[in-house]
Amino acid sequence: MAAPLLEIKDLVTVFHASEGRLPAVDGVSLSIERGRTLGLVGESGCGKSVTAMSTLRLVSSPGRIESGSITFTTEDESIDLVTASEKQLRKVRGGRIGMIFQEPMTSLNPVFTIGNQIAEVVQLHRKVSRSEARSRALEMLQLVRVADPQQRLDEYPHQLSGGMRQRVMIAIALACEPDLIIADEPTTALDVTIQAQILELLDDLRSRLGTAILLITHDLGVVAETCDDVAVMYAGRIVEQASAVELFSRPLHPYTIGLLRARPNVDARDRSPLATIPGMVPPPQDFPSGCRFHPRCSHAREPQCNLDPPALREVSPGHFVRCHFAEEINS
Amino acid sequence: MSQEKIRVTEEIDAAKPSRGFWSDAWQRYRRRPIGMLALGFVLFLTIVALFAPAIAGTKPVICSYKGDLYFPCLGYFNRSWESPIFTKDKFRGTYPKNLKQKDPESWAVWPLVFQDPYRRVRENEWPGRRENPSRDEGHPNRLNLFGTDQYGVDIFAKMVHGTTIALLVGFVSMGLAGSIGVLVGALGGYFGGWVDMITSRLTEIVMCIPTLVLILALIAVVEKPTIWKTMAIIGATGWTGIARLTRAEFLRLRQTEFVMAARATGAGSLRIMFRHILPNALAPVLVPITFGIASAILIEGSLSFLGFGPPPPTASWGSVLNSARSNLQLWWLVVFPGVGIFLTVLAYNLVGEGLQEATDPRLREAKK
Amino acid sequence: MVAYLLRRVLLGLVTLVVITLMVYGLARSMPGNPLTVQLGESDPSRKLNPEDQQRMLEIYGLDKPWPVGYAQWISKVIQGDLGRSITRKQPVTQLIGERIGPTVLISGTALFLTWFLAIPLGLYASARGGRIDERFTGLVLYALYSFPTFVAALFLQIIFAVWLRDTRWELPLFGMSDLSSDAPFFARCADVAWHAILPITCQTYVVLAYNSRFIKANLEEVVRQDFIRTARAKGAGPWRVLVHHAFRNTLIPLVTLLGLSLPALVGGSVIIEQIFTWPGMGRLFFESIRERDYPTIMGLTLMFSVLTLAGQLLADLLYSIVDPRVNVE
């Protein structure tokens, strides 16, 4: 089998703050195959956004990638984004990997027109004239199904609704036909009905253009609808990884189980109260010893869970879990 | 998570500027070495200003004369604080000789530097010392640390006593400007409508008239300017920036939940304005006041420099510079007061900047 | 748009009336009058006897209470007449016309230099933010910003006119020109430029320090915004991100600053013109207050206020041009 499109290995990203060295991402490994969608799931503050930012080395000071590799393989080359030069990286950003952010309201530059901002990414990566870039921008607006694309080209971001702006962001991300799109909570800031439209659009574009997607979200419902594979992240680490089908039918890690139980059930007959996981994700300065989930875990046992950090192990083909007692809990 | 935490603590801050807010601000301020250095310098100036007569002067700090204790040096702060006995006994301001002559039993503690900011020290005024040099000979020397001016008056003594003026100018005029600015801004921002219309117009009008021109005209109007009148005029013209900022803060804060809550409990407008809103608007308003102190010192310097300052014998740094204008070859008349004004203005600006960074919530979040 | 402009202009006119009324009242409240101050100070023997003085005051219309005087002044202004200077026996407009050139020479050059240097300095400071060289230049700029103009002027005078006297670096102490008016044109230009170096330096450095710090602070604010991350994610280089994306956004506060500097362009600086005895507007203002020359004071006040209001309007209009979110209406 060929190398995966993107392979993150043992990524460590730390923030240096007055509290000391804070490892927001602590040894994350992931891989994404061409044309597939990987969902990265976790509560806020677990490090999933930092993982996404690290992939394109967009983490800004005081954050820094401390170790690990991010190998990005295209038809003609394979480069490590962690060690790549700034120039190589710029070719990848926007050209080979597109990115969509959480806040469509603030992610577009307020003083440039929509057309301008889509055309910019085309001009940055392809040798095209202004008018060619502009017609490409129009084409992209049509592709992401923005109404009145011709007119929108000359409008400014503040004249558009949140959903429209997110479509523009998708257009920017896709304008250079990248191999991968990193979508960091692309629907969190939007209304529920708009959320569904945007997800549908992303899924449709993936199947038409063959672009792989790394979808970062805290919403398991979104994952279930759109992803092929899922990785669950907790306190800077991956705790469980499997195909979406496998994970939803046979979750192994107590945290994943908790997350699945915490979802509201639409089934009208089910009147049982909504389960919650007690406590919150610890911030990096307060990561507990041993298994980082043990203070919130109902199955935690001393001394293994609070002293011995569990390793990520493969319990069945393609299904990885970071728990000492995964099999026991689920038997 | 951390985002939520920040938001929660901010809400608590907004509800009541707890001691936590100011001690937090102080913690952040302390981390800036330059800001601390500037604060240290301001403290140093305050000490110099308070003890000016004990640092440089020709009057004893404390003396025993005919069986009583006196503090003649206080006469530098206020003439009437110098015991009249010394005028009756014909001291004519020269203590060292007269004390011994008129009362051989007397003793005195002298200021660190025996020099006077208002007159030339004469020969043998201090037994065995020469007269202060004047004109070209007034280079800085052992007895006149910063040199003397064209009339032989010691510059070091003038500088030390001028510190009092410089600090007073800053605090008094900005105290006045701050009060006017906060009042005007608070009225406009809180009540809005036609009150805001009037206060905003008023602010705009005062902003339209060039400050220095307005001040010069006002100084002419008050006739016989004293340093206090100068301070009042600087204060009365320097409140516009503070008013605009206070207005903006009040506009923002009057919409917040805690003001609604206060109103719901039946608190009156004045109480809401000054008990609930003002403490929360204080941090952003303090910043332009600090910068204002720096600019008030600058303005007083410019006025004295132009010859419109308080009349002699008031020792102000700007008036020393004024005397240098016609005596450019006496470089020490420029360098010492010039550096004095510069460092003081710089220190206040740095303190203001430190305060801004320590209290600005946006900058605070970004630093996290 | 037209309605907006009309409203602004009308509001401005009201403001102007209030300002001039205040300044007129203030000027007339100053002790003495043009006749006593001017003649009495220069030569006590030439002091006018009370009858003559009364007659002169009647000629200038100064015998009536000041509100009447103001009414007369403003009705003349509406007809386009700023009156005649009492102490200089010249129409005020002509007087302003003579002084405006020297002032614009200084402040115009200073304004150009300020922006020409402040923008690259601000960009440089924010591109290298936090590095040792940036911290050093930042500190120097901060020190310059706190350095009083009048102190700097005296330092420069001591260095270039006293210490460097009789060297090729000597610069003239004051005045605008030493040559007579029949000297060749280019020699006169060079002489004026030679005299202008110190005043221009003094007027440039403070504003330069302020503006570059202002630009840097605004850039730092913009660079934290989400759309800058978007620009980087598009593959734009650091220079393009800074200049194209970030700087374009800082133009919004900058045009306000530019608009507000309009009055200083023509008003000049009282202090600098006084120190270097530069025959400009600031000095004229200073002298006219000292001489109680009411028509000149009022003419200058009017001009200055008009420019201030125009500058504010200009800033608001430019604002709506550089920021598509703002609509003046």
Give the pLDDT confidence of A46-74 residue by residue, as tens digits. Answer: 888 899 999 999 887 778 898 899 999 88
Kindly state whether residues C318 and C189 are assigned to the same domain: yes
Alpha-carbon distances, residue C163 vs C150, C157, C171 (angstroms): 18, 9, 10
Q: Touching check for C107 and chain B: CB below 8 Å?
A: no
The helix-helix angle for C132-146 and C185-223 (nearest 10°) equals 120
Do A51 and A41 touch, CB atoms closer than 8 A? no
SS3 content of chain A, % helix, strand, coil (to 5): 35, 25, 40
First to last CA, chain A: 34
Look up the domain containing C125 and give its range. Answer: 95-322
Q: Which residues of chain C have pLDDT under 70?
A: 37-48, 328-329
Q: How far apart are CA B146 and CA B155, in angstroms?
A: 5
Of B167, B185, B121, nearest in space to B148 by CA: B121
Closest CA in chain A for residue B368: A17
Q: Residue B362: its chain C contacts at CB < 8 A?
A: 221
Q: Touching check for A120 and chain C: CB below 8 Å?
A: yes
Instruction: Provide the pLDDT for residue B69.
Output: 78
| pLDDT band at residue A39 under the 50/70/90 scheme | very high
Taking 60 as the threshold, does the pLDDT of residue B16 lie above it?
no
Kindly state whether residues C67 and C101 are assigned to the same domain: no
First to last CA, chain B: 13
Of B206, B231, B209, nearest in space to B309 by CA: B231
Residues 6+ apart with CB under 8 A from C234: A93, A94, A120, A121, A124, A172
Is C86 part of any domain?
no
CA B94 from centroid of its chain's CA atoms = 31
Kindly state whether residues C271 and C169 are assigned to the same domain: yes
B342/C151 CB distance under 8 A: yes
| pLDDT band at residue A120 under the 50/70/90 scheme | very high
C308/B294 CB distance under 8 A: no
The CA distance from C32 to the nearest CA of chain B, in Å, is 10
Q: B98-156: per-residue pLDDT in tens?
A: 777 777 777 777 777 777 777 777 777 777 777 777 777 767 777 777 877 777 788 88
Of B165, B144, B11, nearest in space to B76 by CA: B165
Residues 6+ apart with CB under 8 A from C50: none
SS3 content of chain C, % helix, strand, coil (to 5): 75, 0, 20
- What residues are paired with A39 via a beta bridge? A215, A230
Mutation for testing the B interface, residue in A15, A44, A102, A103 having most B CBs under 10 Å: A44
Q: Is C274 helix (H, G, I), strand (E, B) or coil?
A: helix
Kindly state whether residues C185 and C316 are assigned to the same domain: yes
Closest CA in chain B for residue C213: B353
Could you tell me the two tokens for B104? Answer: 């051989």
**Nearest beta carbon to residue B328 from set C145, C151, C161:** C161
Please count the CA atoms within 13 angstroms of the CA of B139 that sit on its side-chain side. Answer: 3
CB atoms within 10 A of CB B13: 16
Q: B197-247: per-residue pLDDT in tens?
A: 889 888 888 888 877 778 888 888 877 778 888 888 889 888 988 898 888
The CA distance from C233 to the nearest CA of chain A, in Å, is 5
The DSSP secondary-structure symbol of B71 reads: -
The DSSP secondary-structure symbol of B274 reads: I
Q: How far apart are CA A100 and CA A178, in angstroms?
A: 12
B3/A280 CB distance under 8 A: no
Is C156 part of any domain?
yes
| Total domain count, chain C | 2
Kindly state whether residues C74 and C100 are assigned to the same domain: no
Q: Residue C229: its chain A contacts at CB < 8 A?
A: 58, 60, 101, 107
| Mean pLDDT score, A94-108 | 89
Selection from A194-208, B53-67, C160-174 with the highest mean pLDDT: A194-208
Q: Touching check for C235 and chain A: CB below 8 Å?
A: yes
The ipTM of this complex is 0.87
Q: In what order do the strands lie in the sheet with A63-73?
A: A20-32, A6-17, A63-73, A78-80
Kindly state whether residues C156 and C68 are assigned to the same domain: no
Alpha-carbon distances, residue C86 vs C56, C288, C294, C297 (angstroms): 10, 10, 8, 11
Q: How far apart are CA B168 and CA B158, in angstroms?
A: 15
Q: Residue C245: its chain A contacts at CB < 8 A?
A: 109
Could you tell me the two tokens for A264? Answer: 């509201």
Backbone angles phi, psi at B58, to 5 degrees: -115, 5
Backbone angles phi, psi at B321, to 5 degrees: -60, -40
Q: Residue C247: its chain A contacts at CB < 8 A?
A: none
Instruction: Provide the pLDDT for residue B362.
Output: 57
Q: Which chains touch A (3 or more CB pairs under 8 A)?
A: B, C
| pLDDT band at residue A151 under the 50/70/90 scheme | very high
The DSSP secondary-structure symbol of A285 reads: G
Kindly state whether residues C120 and C232 are assigned to the same domain: yes
The DSSP secondary-structure symbol of B360 reads: -
Closest CA in chain B for residue C147: B342
Do A180 and A97 touch, CB atoms closer than 8 A? yes
Q: Where are the alpha helices (DSSP H) in A227-318?
A: 244-249, 254-261, 304-307
Kindly state whether residues C51 and C153 are assigned to the same domain: no
Of B259, B231, B117, nearest in space to B175 by CA: B231
Of B227, B95, B98, nearest in space to B161 by CA: B227
Q: How far apart are CA C115 and CA C218, in angstroms?
A: 15
Q: Is C130 helix (H, G, I), strand (E, B) or coil?
A: coil
pTM reported for the whole predicted model: 0.82
Do A17 and A206 touch, CB atoms closer than 8 A? no
Q: Is A330 exposed, middle or buried (0-12, 13-18, 19+ CB in 10 A)?
A: middle
Q: Is C305 helix (H, G, I), strand (E, B) or coil?
A: helix
| pLDDT band at residue A271 under the 50/70/90 scheme | low
| pLDDT band at residue A270 under the 50/70/90 scheme | low
Kindly state whether residues C212 and C297 are assigned to the same domain: yes
Taking 80 as the threshold, does the pLDDT of residue B313 lie above it?
no
CB atoms within 10 A of CB A244: 19
Instruction: Report the CATH number that the domain containing residue C267 is assigned in CATH.
Output: 1.10.3720.10
Do A189 and A164 touch, CB atoms closer than 8 A? no
Angle ∠(B209,B214,B216) on CA atoms, nearest 5? 150
Q: Touching check for C325 and chain A: CB below 8 Å?
A: yes
Do A110 and A99 touch, CB atoms closer than 8 A? no
Q: Touching check for C17 and chain B: CB below 8 Å?
A: no
Q: A139-150: per-residue pLDDT in tens?
A: 999 988 888 899
Do B312 and C104 touch, CB atoms closer than 8 A? no
Please count the CA atoms within 13 angstroms of the CA of B296 that sit on its side-chain side. Answer: 32
Calculate the dihedral angle through the C-alpha atoms of B191, B197, B198, B203, rounding to the nearest 10 degrees. Answer: 100
Q: Residue A280: its chain B contacts at CB < 8 A?
A: 1
Q: How far apart are CA B281 and CA B298, in angstroms?
A: 27
Q: Residue B2: its chain A contacts at CB < 8 A?
A: 45, 283
The CA distance from B62 to the nearest CA of chain C, in Å, is 37
Mutation for testing the C interface, residue in A92, A109, A123, A176 having most C CBs under 10 Å: A109
Could you tell me the two tokens for B222? Answer: 């008050």
Instruction: Provide the pLDDT for residue A137.
Output: 93
The CA distance from A23 to the nearest CA of chain B, in Å, is 14
Kindly state whether residues C243 and C142 are assigned to the same domain: yes
Q: How far apart are CA A237 and CA A281, in angstroms?
A: 12
- Cis check: omega of the bond before B111, within 30 degrees of 0: no
First to last CA, chain C: 6
Kindly state whether residues C55 and C196 are assigned to the same domain: no
Kindly state whether residues C163 and C193 are assigned to the same domain: yes
Is C84 part of any domain?
no
Q: Is B201 helix (H, G, I), strand (E, B) or coil?
A: helix
Of A108, A107, A114, A77, nearest in space to A92 by CA: A77
Amino acid present at A233: M
A22-36, A262-276, B5-19, C3-17: range with lowest mean pLDDT: B5-19
Could you tell me the two tokens for A40? Answer: 């990265």
Q: Touching check for C229 and chain A: CB below 8 Å?
A: yes
Of C302, C208, C293, C206, nearest in space to C263 by CA: C302
Residue the block writes with tokens 């008036």: B319
DSSP labels, C201-230: HHHHHHHHHHHHHHHHHHHHHHHTSHHHHH
Q: Touching check for A160 and chain C: CB below 8 Å?
A: no
- What residues are paired with A241 via a beta bridge? A231, A320
| pLDDT band at residue A268 under the 50/70/90 scheme | low
Task: Report A:69-108 residues touching C (Cβ under 8 A).
Answer: 86, 90-95, 98-99, 101, 103, 106-108
C305-322 burial, b if ≥16 CB within 10 A, otherwise e? bbbbbbbbbbbbbbbbeb
Q: Which chains touch B (3 or more CB pairs under 8 A)?
A: A, C
